[in-house]
Amino acid sequence: MSETNPPSRVAAIVVAAGKGLRAGTALPKQFAPWRGKPLVLHSVEAFACAGISTIVVVVAPDQLSHARGLFEGIAGVRIVPGGVMRQESVCAGLEALAGDPPDAVLIHDAARPTLPAAVIDRLLAALVNSPGAIPVLPVVDSLYREGEGKVAREDLHRVQTPQAFRFGDILAAHRAWEAAPEAGDDAEVARTAGLKVALVEGDEALRKITFAGDFADPAVRWPRTGTGFDVHRLAAGEELWLCGVRIEHSCGLVGHSDADVALHAVTDAVLGAVAAGDIGEHFPPSDPRWRGAASHAFLAHAVALARERGYAVGNVDLTIVCEAPRIGPHRPAMRASLAAILGTGSDAVSVKATTTERLGFTGRGEGIAAQAIATLIPLHEGNT
Ligand code: MG
């Protein structure tokens, strides 16, 4: 390869031959679903997206057919059986590339599914001046050794993968490696062979997925959104409630409950975000229990149901559509009322109003419409 430009022919090796016992998943952890798909698939796709056209996935011999099914349809992926030790597996991957050697190879652990392209760029750029390069992060916590006290952390690094090497150099280093003891990583194999290994900036996103908690209900890890829409008719002699706030007006909304059209729209948005049906399903108009009911109970129920499923309300944006009354003067009270029911701060609740330029049923003052969008956030990421 050229020693002045980053390597142009680059292959990747994804090591997925481990047993993954600490994660406690039914499948070896690299094949267990994480954020909607098998863990190993994330990094393979990341390499493919970064333009790496040859990707060798090293798996345990008893996972060969499973892995073949998994990567069917991804161009450039080759499945290779690994060894007992990680180093043997990497070596098997390198040997699989040796027949048509690339300029450089990125060696990566399947347990680090989130792989930013910028890290790959930094690693390959570093190969211009060094036969090897690894991503590292500083140690931010204090370190303490039992009996000795605080350990200086300034010259310590957290080492990540992928690790990048000029292909011929790392192949020779692995071939020369003595089987025992087990190599910590490929940088150790390289340094043992006398190769210089450069350090480049890693990325917190490259975090290793290790423990069962990392796999806990993966669907709950994403924010979810839902929308709601509702209309009620205006009539004389009715009370007008919007967002749980009683508003003095010449007429009010008609409905089975208190007909708080705004709370109904927000309730449907929250229910929608967790795919839990709609307000009519939970509180049927045919049920006499809900006659004249205060609608904050409906929204509180939806919020509780979302919490049961692992979500808290992140924010809500509501639009009320009417010619009258004017919403502006009531907005602070409406936001506070909604925030209290939702369990958020007022800054997470937006109440907007619009007219329809005297057009349609809202324009003629026959009714009020409301639409809402709610974003829910996973509870177990520090939200209470
Ligand atoms: Mg309604």
Residue 179 vs residue 334, higher pLDDT: 334
Whole-number Å distance, alpha carbon 259 to ligand 1 midpoint, is: 6
CA of 371 to the centre of ligand 1 (A): 11
Q: How far is the CA of 260 from the centre of ligand 1 (A)?
A: 7
**Contact in structure between 362 and 321 (CB atoms under 8 Å):** yes
User: Ligand 1 centre from 265 Cα, in Å?
Assistant: 7
Q: Residue 83: which residues within 8 A CB-CB, separation 6 or more?
A: 17, 89, 91, 92
Digit-coded pLDDT (tens) for 281-299: 999 888 888 888 899 999 9
pLDDT number for residue 219: 56
Q: What is the mean pLDDT of residues 167-175?
A: 97
In this structure, how many other beta carbons lie within 10 angstroms of the beta carbon of residue 157? 14
Ligand 1 center to 330 CA (angstroms):
20
Going by C-alpha positions, the residue among 95, 109, 40, 104 that lies closest to residue 71 is 40
pLDDT for residue 285: 85
Residue 123 tokens read as 């690693």
CATH assignment of 10-216?
3.90.550.10
Where do we find the tokens 């008893």?
62
Among candidate residues 186, 194, 231, 263, the one with its CA nearest the CA of residue 356: 231
Q: What is the pLDDT of residue 2?
A: 46
> Where do the domains of the chain lie?
10-216, 219-378
Is the pLDDT at 19 greater than 80, yes or no? no
Helix or strand or coil: residue 320?
Answer: strand
Task: Look up tokens 């099914």; give the residue.
Answer: 69
Q: Residue 263 Cα, ligand 1 centroid: separation in angstroms?
A: 8
How many Å apart are CA 272 and CA 284, to the nearest integer? 17
Peptide bond into 329 cis (omega under 30): no
**CA 225 – ligand 1 centroid, Å:** 20
253 CA to centre of ligand 1 in angstroms: 10
Q: Does the pLDDT value for residue 133 go beyond 50? A: yes
Taking the chain, what is the end-to-end CA distance rounded to the nearest angstrom?
A: 54
Q: Point out the least confidently predicted range of 10-24, 111-125, 221-235, 252-266.
A: 10-24
Distances from the Cα of 282 to the Cα of 268, 277, 303, 339, angstroms: 10, 8, 13, 22
User: HSE of 45 in the Cβ direction (CA atoms, 13 Å)?
Assistant: 12
Ligand 1: centre distance to CA 377 (Å): 25
Tracing tokens 């829910």 back to the chain, one arrives at 376
Cα–ligand 1 centroid distance for 370 (angstroms): 9
Q: How far is the CA of 298 from the centre of ligand 1 (A)?
A: 10
Please state which of the four CATH numbers 3.40.50.1370, 3.40.50.300, 3.40.50.1820, 3.30.1330.50 is assigned to the domain occupying 219-378. Answer: 3.30.1330.50
Distance, CA 381 to ligand 1 centroid (Å)? 33
